[in-house]
Amino acid sequence: MTGNGKKRTPLVADRRYPAKAAATKKPAPKKKPPTKPTARRRATPKRRKPRGLLGWILLPFILILRIIWAVSWRVGLVVGLIIAGFSFYFAAQMPPVEDLIDGRTRGSVTMTDNKGEVFAWRGDQFGGMVTVDTVSGHLVNAVIATEDKRFRSHFGISPRGIASAVRINLREGRGPLSGHGGSTITQQTAKLLCLGIPFDPTRWESETDYENDCRQGSLWRKAREAVFSVGMEIAYTKDEILAIYLNRAYLGAGARGFEAASQRYFGIPALALDPAQSAMLAGLLTAPSTLAPTSNLRRSQERASIVVGLMEDQGYLSAAQADEARLHPATLSETARANAATFFADWIMRSGPESFTRNTTEDVIIRTTLDQRVQRAAEAAMKEIFSTKVRPGSKA
């Protein structure tokens, strides 16, 4: 269709979609002229306040303290590395635990009567190897409470314990290393092992000299003992260290180790010890010969009461258990209390074959003809005669 000369009216579609206006170009943003980098303002240092008279007086001491600190931490680091090196060296040399259990250097003699019952002992007794799991839990607790309450947490030495021991020694008028040693159970075990040095007859005249040398308390010896103890902590577990200690500790009356002591004093295995008996045995560690119940039962019971108090304070015993242990202290077995036929046992040791008595290096059991019933009757008769018939000036 041709137009009639008039302007064409837009169609509906054209009205619906009008032609897009041409996009107008936006003027490009004007670039800002480059600005010169501003120099950073330097922070002006704060003026130090002028030192007063006190400041100038303290200045030399402050400088000295700084120098001491700068030197000491470096020296401490070097010393720590040296100790660690020697500790790992000792740890690598440690033998199996089983090789360190029996600390006796000579055998023992056990004498039985005509019925097979033990009536006398001579030499160091060893009841057999025990571990933490084969002894009474009360015994383990008593030993830790008495000797080293931080045994489970320290690394072989206890700086706090050493400082406390030095303070007590100085307060009591002794040298810093005399008296209380502040030794941990690990250090005591290291001492029992003589720091791994075996007995050499060409170096020591006797085993007594050897043991005395092992127990000396010089500063150099203490330092070696500490390093050896750390080495033990690296090589063994806590229970293994405690097992060595339980087997090697001397507890008086020829008993070496807690199993032998339990059999010697109470006639029972260490697994069956009650709190009172455990406290008595643990109390012997400080002075085994003096506190042995066969020497002075009353003194041994008093020491055991102190140990019971330590066990109660550290939570190993309840108040009721502690009171029971104090009210019923441990007593000797009938055999230990009787101490039968002492002269007869001495005669056997003097007259018997040396390989079985004085010079034995093995455990020997000698069965004798002793009748303890007859022996007790004869001793009672002799006491009666001397108390009633024998008087000063009488012919008897």
For the beta carbon of residue 118, count every other beta carbon within 10 angstroms. 16
Name the more confident of 308 and 375: 308
Q: What is the pTM of this model?
A: 0.70
Taking residues 319-327, what's their average pLDDT? 96
Q: Measuring CA to CA, how many Å separate 164 from each of 223, 253, 389?
A: 17, 32, 60
Question: Which pLDDT belongs to residue 324?
Answer: 96
Find the radius of gyration of the CA atoms of the chain: 42
Residue 233 pLDDT more than 60? yes
Q: What percentage of the chain has pLDDT greater than the value 90?
A: 30
Residue 271 pLDDT more than 80? yes
Q: What is the pLDDT of residues 167-188, one digit of tens each?
A: 766 676 666 555 555 689 999 9
Phi, psi angle pair for 28, to nearest 5° = -65, 135
DSSP state of 256: B
Q: How are strands ordered across the β-sheet holding 364-367?
A: 118-122, 109-112, 364-367
Highest mean pLDDT among 92-96, 220-224, 320-324: 320-324
The contacts of residue 272 (CB under 8 Å, 6+ apart) are 136, 262
Residue 40 pLDDT more than 60? no
**3-state SS, residue 270:** helix
Convert 279-307 to b/e letters by CB count within 10 Å (16 or more is b): bbbbbbbeebeebbbbeebeebbebbbeb
Determine the Cα–Cα distance for residues 264 and 278; give it in Å rounded to an integer: 14
User: Which of 314, 313, 315, 293 has the alpha carbon at shortest distance from 304?
Assistant: 293
For 44, counting Cβ atoms within 10 Å of its Cβ (0-12 exposed, 13-18 middle, 19+ buried), the class is exposed
Residue 334 pLDDT more than 70? yes
Query: Secondary structure of the chain: what % helix, strand, coil (to 5)?
Result: 50, 5, 45
Determine the Cα–Cα distance for residues 9 and 6; give it in Å rounded to an integer: 9
Can you tell me which residue has the tokens 């055998």? 107
